């Protein structure tokens, strides 16, 4: 019996030592937040050919916002940068304030919609343009040689566009600034528009009471924190990110009613001058 007890003790010690010798399980890899280094805002995300893509605005003084970068990933953890997928060197009319990219794929082409020049009236050159490329990493070149939307319709500044494909195969653009939001139906080759059922081309869809002056600090959830982009934990698996986005408290800008500042670093000015 003593020998059996000694044998049992020896086996328990051996098992314990073997367990201690095993390598510790590696912690789950995360992207961390922000997921991208640098100053970016206005991200639009897509999946093309099984790969995740993010197209953001480069945050800088307006005169330095002359290009767009893109980022791709196969796992939402490791991201590759594709610099200057769009550059104003390839858009004759665009000079500054290149904002809010929106991209769709159609018939073997990738169409990148963007705002440029931050126009303040109908006499200035700029608005929403279209560039295209055979691949999402570009380079994208000007498609029309002029802006697609170069005027204020229903009071909406031509910025902050988002393009989407409807269930019936039609494509629409939603955009706007200065307290107004429009929707329009794109034609088949993205060179213009098709009238909506009510006969209008640009229909205002701004919700009632959507914009108001804030009398006290605002509290909101943001997808941009200080520098770099984060993934909102409501949209992606939080395990990929590592930690959730926290609420940010801000003082209302001087001209709150006129819109945001598109990542103009260190500024509290809206679009309207």
Q: pLDDT per residue over 107-153, tens digit each?
A: 999 999 999 999 999 999 999 999 999 999 999 999 999 999 999 99
How far apart CA 131 and CA 135 sit, in angstroms, is 12
Task: Give the SS3 label for residue 154.
Answer: coil
Question: Which residue shows structure tokens 């922000």?
Answer: 34
Nearest to 131 by CA among 123, 139, 120, 122: 139
Range in 17-21, 168-172, 197-201 with the lowest mean pLDDT: 17-21
Rounded to 5°, angle at Cα 148 from 200 and 191: 85
Mean pLDDT on 147-165: 97
Q: Which residues contact 116 (CB under 8 A, 6 or more apart)?
A: 88, 91, 93, 94, 95, 96, 97, 98, 99, 126, 127, 128, 129, 147
CA 66 to chain centre: 17
User: Which residues, including other chains, have CB under 8 Å from residue 16's CB and lie 6 or more apart?
Assistant: none
Buried b (16+ CB within 10 A) or exposed e, 114-144: bbbbbbeeeeeebbbbbbbbeebbbebebbe
Is the per-residue pLDDT at 93 higher than 70?
Answer: yes
Contacts of 256 (CB under 8 A, 6+ apart): 213, 214, 270
Looking at 10-66, which runs of residues are DSSP E strands? 40-48, 51-58
Radius of gyration over alpha carbons of the chain, in Å?
Answer: 25
Domains of the chain, start order: 40-258 (2.115.10.20)
Confidence (pTM): 0.73
| Per-residue model confidence (pLDDT) at position 117 | 98
């Amino acid at each position: 019996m003593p020998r059996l007890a000694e044998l049992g003790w020896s086996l328990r010690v051996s098992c314990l030592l073997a367990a201690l010798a095993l390598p510790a399980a590696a912690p789950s890899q995360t992207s961390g937040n922000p997921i991208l280094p640098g100053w970016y805002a206005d991200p639009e995300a897509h999946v093309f050919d099984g790969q995740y893509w993010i197209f953001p605005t480069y945050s800088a003084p307006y005169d330095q916002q002359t290009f767009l970068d893109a980022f791709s990933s196969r796992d939402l953890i490791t991201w590759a940068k594709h610099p200057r997928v769009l550059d104003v060197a390839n858009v004759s009319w665009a000079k500054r304030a290149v904002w809010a990219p929106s991209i769709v794929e159609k018939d073997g082409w990738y169409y990148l919609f963007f705002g440029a020049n931050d126009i303040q009236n109908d006499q200035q050159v700029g608005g929403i343009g279209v560039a295209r490329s055979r691949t999402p990493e570009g380079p994208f070149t000007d498609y029309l040689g002029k802006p697609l939307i170069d005027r204020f319709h229903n009071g909406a500044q031509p910025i902050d566009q988002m393009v989407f494909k409807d269930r019936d195969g039609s494509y629409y653009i939603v955009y706007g600034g200065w307290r107004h939001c429009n929707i329009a139906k794109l034609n088949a080759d993205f060179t213009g528009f098709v009238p909506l059922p009510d006969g209008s081309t640009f229909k205002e869809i701004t919700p009632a009471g959507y914009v108001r002056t804030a009398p006290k600090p605002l509290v909101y959830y943001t997808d941009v924190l200080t520098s770099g982009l984060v993934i909102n934990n409501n949209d992606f698996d939080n395990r990929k990110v590592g930690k959730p986005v926290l609420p940010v408290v801000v003082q209302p800008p001087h001209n709150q009613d006129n819109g945001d500042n598109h990542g103009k670093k260190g500024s509290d000015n809206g679009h309207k001058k």
